Structure 1
Amino acid sequence: MRKLELLPTDDNIIATLNENILGRNTELGYFLELLNHVEDAYSIAIDGKWGSGKTFFVKQAKLALDACNDSISMDDEKRTSIKETLSNVTKVDDLQPQYPVYYDAWEHDNDIDPILSLIYSITEAYDYFDTLSIDSKKMLMDVGQKIIDRILPGSGAVLPALSELFKTSNILNEQKNKATLQEDIQTFLHSLIYENGNRLVVIIDELDRCRPDFAVKLLERIKHYFVDEKITFVFSINLEELSNTVRHFYGEAFNAGRYLGRFFDLIIKLNPANLDNYYKKFGLGDHYYYDYAIRTVISSFHFELRDIIRFISASQLLKDTINKIPNMMLLDMNQRDALTFCGFFVVPIMLGINVIQPELYGKFIRGEEAPLFVNVIKNMTQYDRVVDFLLGDKETFLRTETSKTFIDIEKRADSLYNALFSSENSDEIIIGKLIINQGVRDKLLEISSLLSNFSDFKK
């Protein structure tokens, strides 16, 4: 059994771009055009919920910028492929060369000061250092060391990565305090931008997951020390969660929205991904009731991309066996119909709840969350089989006034939920064509636990 995941690795980033798996290539094209027309010091926030694919989006943008800057090392075939894909959504030849740097704030939130790790991330991204002369390396190291000395005076601290990159010596003994920290940083950044593109694009990701003190300090350090007409900052954030982080630091009465407005010149809302290609990537077709139900649960619970991956991973354990219920157990016909229906349409709801709100799962199987169940079943009435089983007469459903029909569906769905999960029901109950008894209830819980002969762990 392999973990089903779509991690933002280089290969996956390229695949999602070239195959437009997330359906965001058009948005990416507009974003590249936006970056291309920025002329001043500028800060952009890309706002999206946790798990919505923000990291994928900004890493796709970085890959695109890499491909459009000939000073950045990249395999020629890969560069050509990426630019051909981009040419479908933007005028590639019109994009100015920009140098992107990716900074994972969460990865560094135990650092003493965010400036140190940010400077390191910027310098680490520049693969042209090997071509610099010793004098040029020493100049950059001098400036970098001054930044460290101003932040941690008298500590003698140095970023090992800087020392390794520049291969210089006798730098630590130099204390140069004539310029301000801001001037040092400007000198440092200008020396990097000069040979590698018209602008530097610094992508700050996962800021909303950081410790409140680190998140606030990083924002304020950037605001005070990194303002430069040749630098664009892109923040990939969940604005709601970042606001909570700021309030946690300054107090609940603090106006976090106005505070954050000081740092972002433009806030962009990341639209939901187009999931059609995404579903195909993981074999989630639309020709099978179980697949239909899975897609309905995803839309009903408003899953983000990360939730979808976990949900599909769990549901695929049952996909090849769920339709074989009648042949895998010695059941009478009534039990077979009920378990077939539950396998196709009820089990996905149970798996979905365990993904999106696992704290509710216990209440759900105790019969305390009927509205949750009824809402999803109502959304499944686009499938004839659901209506046929619940009402017992599909033709009546098709002839009946819609509003009245959905009242009937709600009542039947509520009755089905109580028949399946209410502890007060132990007798046999008939809902439409479904006959629910204790054997059905017990088997439903067994199947949805994923620890039964229905789970295929070889998937």
Structure 2
Amino acid sequence: MSEQEDLTFEFRDDFKRVGIADKVITLLTTPIGISPMVIDGDWGTGKTEFCQKLIHKFRSEHGRYRLVYVDAFQADHADDPLMTVLAAVAGEALEGEAKRTFLQKAIPVVRYGLQTAFKASVSHVLKENADDIADGLEKHLQDSANKAIDASVAAVLKDHEKAQQNLKALQATLADQVTADSPIVIFIDELDRCRPDFAVQMLEVIKHTFDVVNVKFVLVTNTKQLRAAINHRYGPLVDAQRYLDKFLKFSVRLPADVSGRVGYGYGENRLLASVKHYSNLVSSSGILAGTGLGQTDKEYFTFASELIQVNQLSLRQVETFTRYLEVYHSLSRGLAPDETAGLRLLRLFGVFVSCFSPDVYDNIQSGCTNADVIAPLLGVPTLLPDNEETYHYSRKLAVIIGLQLVQNSAFNAEHFMFESEDSQECWKKGFDYYFGNRSVLSDIWQPVKEVFSVLSLSSR
């Protein structure tokens, strides 16, 4: 199976996103003014893979469309988003005489440094009316007695005028080559990973340079990070979302869940995409397959699933978690299958902490465990439920393991004690089941520390 074949929904669609792709393609092939469009998602949610599969599907179904892919993160070292997009369009969407003509018109645009013109004008043009700016400049020139300033302003205006002439020539050339029968769709990926100044300049280039009929843009990015980039560029007082609204026409957010079964309960639920990803990674791992870490062992899988959901791990973080499990399994006897379920799950928690919680790691190593910090990692409620809610929470495996940990922490353990004997008895049944009738272990942190020792490569 080739890498290109891998990037298709037919080969793999674990997160049931082909329907989203179909709708995106439908929108991009209608005359609705949705460009620039955003495919939004947090870091590590599989945006790039979705984009590649989307392009493959789009190309196979609509051959007349010319699709261009730009990895903005790979290009941001060049410090010229205009050049990046121009080169991509020339290289992937045009050929022959059309390509040569386009490049001839593109070179003067780059040479005159539209970026400089943008820096001087965009922050104002987006806030004020262009006519007002012209009036202000005219008044300034009339009132100023400083000939040096007059000359500098005149030079800037002359360069700006020349740049605009070249820009219009480039847009006209592109418009001649891009018709309703042969549109161009440009996908800009990884914009959220770029330097803030490069990311913002890319937005401005798209708006001001490529405002051409039958040319559409799709930004595959994390808009939360994009807003942060805007504030980094223009300051915290700028309303980043309103700024984005000036550029972006439509946004779709990749869902974090898929239809499926969660754990071993009854009924059809929404399965977190990250949990599904974890199951697939374990099943396909040459090291972890058959160890029970996947859905073949309900305790392992349920506990891992709850850790993933409570901490909202991204797909990329799940890959890190699985990699650490592979390392631990390779350097030890695994999660000690001969021990009680509770102790095995404590080792799984040790791998999780090694991956994502360095502060908790240090506190455990030093014996300064803080129940208030550890509880959120396992979804332990701040106030232990009583009466009718007790049974509901007592079924959560992560909470059962978590209560053992927080009640045996060096600090703030008193925040997680039971209020009634009935609640104590209800929870004790869970403790006894998983820890072999040992509700309080002599040193519950020892299995976790053993995991730390293995992963630090210091154990013998």
Q: State the partner residue of 2:123.
A: none
CA RMSD of aligned residues (A): 3.8
Distance 1:423 1:346 in 2: 19
Matched, 1:218 2:218: no
Q: State the partner residue of 1:442.
A: 446
Alignment of 1:25-174 (within 5 A): 25-40=18-33, 42-70=35-63, 97-126=64-93, 129=95, 132=96, 136=98, 138-151=100-113
The code of the aligned residue for 1:285 comes to G
1:130-156 residue CA offsets vs partner (Å, 9 max, x unmatched): xx3xx5554333223233333389xxx
Partner of 1:109: helix, strand, or coil?
A: helix
Any conservation in 1 of the 2:45–2:314 contact (CA below 8 Å)? Answer: yes
Q: How many Å apart are 1:351 and its aligned residue? A: 2.6
Any conservation in 1 of the 2:15–2:276 contact (CA below 8 Å)? Answer: yes
Q: State the partner residue of 1:416.
A: 404
| More divergent stretch after superposition (241-250 vs 54-63) | 54-63
Q: How many Å apart are 1:363 and its aligned residue? A: 3.4
1:355-375 residue CA offsets vs partner (Å, 9 max, x unmatched): 344344323554544246445
The code of the aligned residue for 1:124 comes to G
Q: Are the structure 2 counterparts of residues 235 and 322 from structure 1 closer, same or farther at C-alpha, using a change threshold of 3 Å?
A: same
Distance 1:412 1:293 in 2: 10
Partner of 1:18: helix, strand, or coil?
A: coil
Q: How many Å apart are 1:258 and its aligned residue? A: 0.6
Any conservation in 2 of the 1:44–1:266 contact (CA below 8 Å)? Answer: yes
| More divergent stretch after superposition (109-118 vs 415-424) | 415-424
The code of the aligned residue for 1:190 comes to A
The code of the aligned residue for 2:343 comes to C
Q: Are the structure 2 counterparts of residues 286 and 376 from structure 1 closer, same or farther at C-alpha, using a change threshold of 3 Å?
A: farther
In structure 2, stretches of 5+ residues that fail to align are 116-161, 259-272, 284-292, 414-427
Q: How many Å apart are 1:179 and its aligned residue? A: 7.5
Which of 292, 295, 315 lines up with 2:302 in the alignment?
292
Q: How many Å apart are 1:405 and its aligned residue? A: 4.1
Distance 1:263 1:216 in 2: 11
Distance 1:446 1:423 in 2: 22
Distance 1:216 1:448 in 2: 42
Distance 2:456 2:241 in 1: 50
Distance 1:449 1:125 in 2: 51
Q: Are the structure 2 counterparts of residues 368 and 186 from structure 1 closer, same or farther at C-alpha, using a change threshold of 3 Å?
A: same
Any conservation in 2 of the 1:374–1:413 contact (CA below 8 Å)? Answer: no
Partner of 1:180: helix, strand, or coil?
A: helix
The code of the aligned residue for 1:59 comes to Q
Q: State the partner residue of 1:348.
A: 348
Q: How many Å apart are 1:423 and its aligned residue? A: 8.8
Distance 2:25 2:404 in 1: 51
Tell me the TM-score normalised to structure 2 length.
Answer: 0.66
Q: Are the structure 2 counterparts of residues 408 and 222 from structure 1 closer, same or farther at C-alpha, using a change threshold of 3 Å?
A: closer
Any conservation in 2 of the 1:41–1:227 contact (CA below 8 Å)? Answer: no
Any conservation in 1 of the 2:7–2:52 contact (CA below 8 Å)? Answer: yes
Any conservation in 2 of the 1:297–1:348 contact (CA below 8 Å)? Answer: no
Distance 2:69 2:455 in 1: 41
The code of the aligned residue for 2:342 comes to F
Any conservation in 1 of the 2:5–2:11 contact (CA below 8 Å)? Answer: no
Distance 1:404 1:310 in 2: 34
Any conservation in 1 of the 2:370–2:412 contact (CA below 8 Å)? Answer: no
In percent, how many aligned pairs have the same letter?
20
Aligned pair count reads 356
Tell me the TM-score normalised to structure 1 length.
Answer: 0.66
